[in-house]
Amino acid sequence: MKGEVPSLEAVSLTTTFRTRGGSVARAVDGVDLEVGQGEVVALVGESGCGKTTLARTLLGLERPAAGQVLHEGSALRYDARSLKAYRREVQLVLQDPTGSLNPRHTVYQAVAEGLRVHGLGGDEQARVAEALSRVGLRPAERYFLRYPDELSGGQRQRVVIAGALVLEPKVLVADEPVSSLDASVRGEILELLLRLRGELGLSVLVVTHDLGLAWNIADRIAVMYLGRVVESGPTEQVLADPQHPYTQALLSVVPETRHVEPTVLAGEPPDPTRVPSGCRFHPRCPALASGEAEAAGVADDCRSTTLPVLPAEPVHAAACFLSKARQGTLS
Amino acid sequence: MSLLRIEDLSVTYRTSEGDVPAVRGVSLEVEAGTSLGVAGESGSGKSTLAGTVLRLTPKTAAVTGRVLLDDEDVLSMSFGRLRAVRWSSASIVFQGALHSLNPLQRVGRQIGEPIRLHDPTLTRRGVDRRVGGLLSDVGLSARLAQSYPHQLSGGQKQRVMIAMALGCGPQLIVADEPTTALDVMVQAQVLDLLTALVRDLGVGLVVISHDLSVLATTCDRVAVMYAGRVVEQGRAEDVLHRARHPYTRALSAAFPTIGDPAARFAPRGLPGDPPWPGDLPSGCPFHPRCAEAEDRCRTEDVRLRSAPDVPGQQAACVHVGAPGREVAP
């Protein structure tokens, strides 16, 4: 990825919401992230960690309070015309295909809608047919007049992906693309995403809480907690040798890795209107609670020193005082 | 005597488009203090099976076989008896806690409702005390009784559903997809809670899920359903790691082992979709999606057979054991 302009980039991105009580929720709180050309990046975290808000900000659906979104090196502008052009290049695939398809639209209408919105004439039928065959719905003509309720869950998700592909985007942002699908269908859809990356050179950002999915398809992984990326790097390194106690805990509770002693964190991530001081994970951190951080002499830092934002570079890095101390690189 | 014994259960929904056999001859057993996982995809009949335990199937469904709860057949009980059994002998944690709670009622009142109905002599304060105790049993603060569902997170709502199911001290709890739509960390919390109930209170637990790996880590035994039948069952560990049915193997491969080089950039799925129960393939219902299918799989509707090499495990596949070793369903 070095030397190449990333397909999609977040630079010190911050997205805030004002709550009814008047306080400010920092849903995305300073994130640097890159998705290289033809790269699959998994953005992983629990509900409420800000991963969906980050994805929406990258898509131009939310305006950042600070920072920038770059597409192929140029900053996203928020006038209607630029946004429309941008949304052709960067397409969203949502979680639940049943909810994202209009039940009264045929497959053809669902896929052709984007072409019409963007005023792309030409041979509409040929483009729709091509997009449908790309996602494995062949012969495409047989699907044209079918309605979503006549399709299985996996076929519906394929239609949703075809609707994104028909605009020939450069980037797909997929928010939990398989979480509502049956187990046996899940692998098929993930395989499709990998194939599209191979055939079309698509860049893919997958937003998910599923580490197994990341292991299946992602080149790189970024773990988010409370609005920040706390660990990122090549998937093999992050999942085989997680540095951040949060990543370690997440990994330990995946059912299939239960040969590791599971670290079940109590409670849920705190509310983004009240981000803890120091390391934002410290109130739930098992390494701080067990005294490991104390023994390494970093406990005070954990509680009160602000951590720098992790750089977007594709090297393995964690925003954790303890892991830094262990590597002996604490500044 | 088993706590729950399902014998040759069949459920057929009668629809305007003909009969839809959702469950086709299922037999299962759960002992007190043990847990059984039922794995399956949409349309496999697993949720219908869960509903029959408390006779919650719609009137349009034709049900045959027996569902014995403490040796008493739920299917032939009088309605009055059934009402007494629901919640107090067996209770269900329904799928989608996020939608199963009444948004206009405080959760404490909802947890208290079955308790009040089953023991009208309890005072209001008595019910409140029980509700507070139940909330702390499931790891929530008793203060949450005053909250409305929208004020709770997904994991908290699921705990509320479990507290409600525990309210009348049932011996059997059926949890239908208890962790779907929950995050991994919250999922782990809820699964730990369920296994603690089995261990500490000695309840029998049936967990229904599409995620075989979740079941294998939570339950003692696992049964895998496909097209309305149990196609494989045995000790949880064995079903996950020594599956004898090709469908079970495909299901376990769908959730990769992190760190397994074979799964890296190689997501595995099954071609095709689960069959529509109203239009099942001939022979083995799995044969159109099976990589190991032979000619005879198209015609031979094979029932569960004992796997000779894995004690206590059975699978419904022609390739299991020697012919003639079929066991009665």
- The ipTM (two decimal places) reads 0.85
- Measured in residues, chain A has a length of 331
**Average pLDDT of chain B to the nearest whole number:** 90
Pairing relationship of beta strands B172-176 and B204-209 according to DSSP bridges:
parallel
What token pair was written down for A249?
Answer: 């805990």
CA dihedral A160, A164, A166, A170 (to 10 degrees): -150
Please report the pLDDT score of residue B328 as a whole number: 39
- Measured in residues, chain B has a length of 329
What token pair was written down for B136?
Answer: 């702390």
Picking from B192, B258, B268, the nearest residue to A211 by CB comes out as B258
pLDDT above 50 (res A318): yes
Residue showing tokens 């008896």: B81
d(CA B245, CA A232): 39
The 10 Å CB-count burial string (b at 16+, else e) for B112-150 is bbbbbebeeeeeeeebbebbbebbebbbbeeebbebebe
The CA–CA distances, whole Å, from B137 to B84, B131, B141, B157 equal 23, 10, 9, 14
The CA–CA distances, whole Å, from B99 to B86, B94, B96, B157 equal 21, 9, 6, 9
d(CA A201, CA A72): 14
The end-to-end CA distance of chain A, in Å, is: 28
Report, as an integer, the average pLDDT of A29-34: 95
pLDDT above 60 (res B269): yes
Q: How confident is the model at residue A206 (pLDDT cuts 50, 70, 90)?
A: very high
Q: In chain B, whose CA is at the least distance from the CA of A241?
A: B259
Please report the pLDDT score of residue A258 as a whole number: 54
Nearest residue to B59 (alpha-carbon basis) of B94, B8, B26, B14 = B14
Dihedral pair phi/psi, residue A78, rounded to 5°? -105, 20
Residues of B with CB under 8 A from a CB of A: 41-42, 153-155, 181, 183-189, 192, 210-214, 216-217, 250-251, 253-260, 263-271, 273-274, 289
Residues of A with CB under 8 A from a CB of B: 46-48, 152-155, 179, 182-191, 194, 209-213, 215-217, 235-236, 239-240, 249-251, 253-258, 262, 264-266, 268
Instruction: Name the pTM for this structure.
Output: 0.87
List pLDDT tens digits, range B295-304: 999 999 999 9
Report, as an integer, the average pLDDT of A231-259: 89
List pLDDT tens digits, range B163-175: 999 999 999 999 9
d(CA A255, CA A242): 17
Q: What single letter denotes the amino acid at residue A88?
A: R
Please report the pLDDT score of residue A259 as a whole number: 62
Q: How confident is the model at residue B98 (pLDDT cuts 50, 70, 90)?
A: low
pLDDT above 60 (res A182): yes
**Average pLDDT of chain A to the nearest whole number:** 90
Picking from A184, A209, A253, the nearest residue to B251 by CB comes out as A184
E-assigned strand segments in chain A: 8-18, 24-35, 40-44, 66-71, 74-75, 90-93, 171-175, 203-208, 220-225, 228-234, 317-318
E-assigned strand segments in chain B: 4-15, 18-30, 35-39, 61-69, 72-73, 90-93, 172-176, 204-209, 221-226, 229-235, 305-306, 314-315
Determine which helix (DSSP H) or strand (DSSP E) holds A89, and give its type and residue range: helix A80-89
Pairing relationship of beta strands B204-209 and B18-30 according to DSSP bridges:
unpaired
Structurally, at CATH architecture level, domain B4-89+170-315 sits in 3-Layer(aba) Sandwich (3.40)
Considering chain A, what percentage of its residues have pLDDT values greater than 70? 96
The 10 Å CB-count burial string (b at 16+, else e) for B12-29 is bbeeeeeebbbbbbbbbe
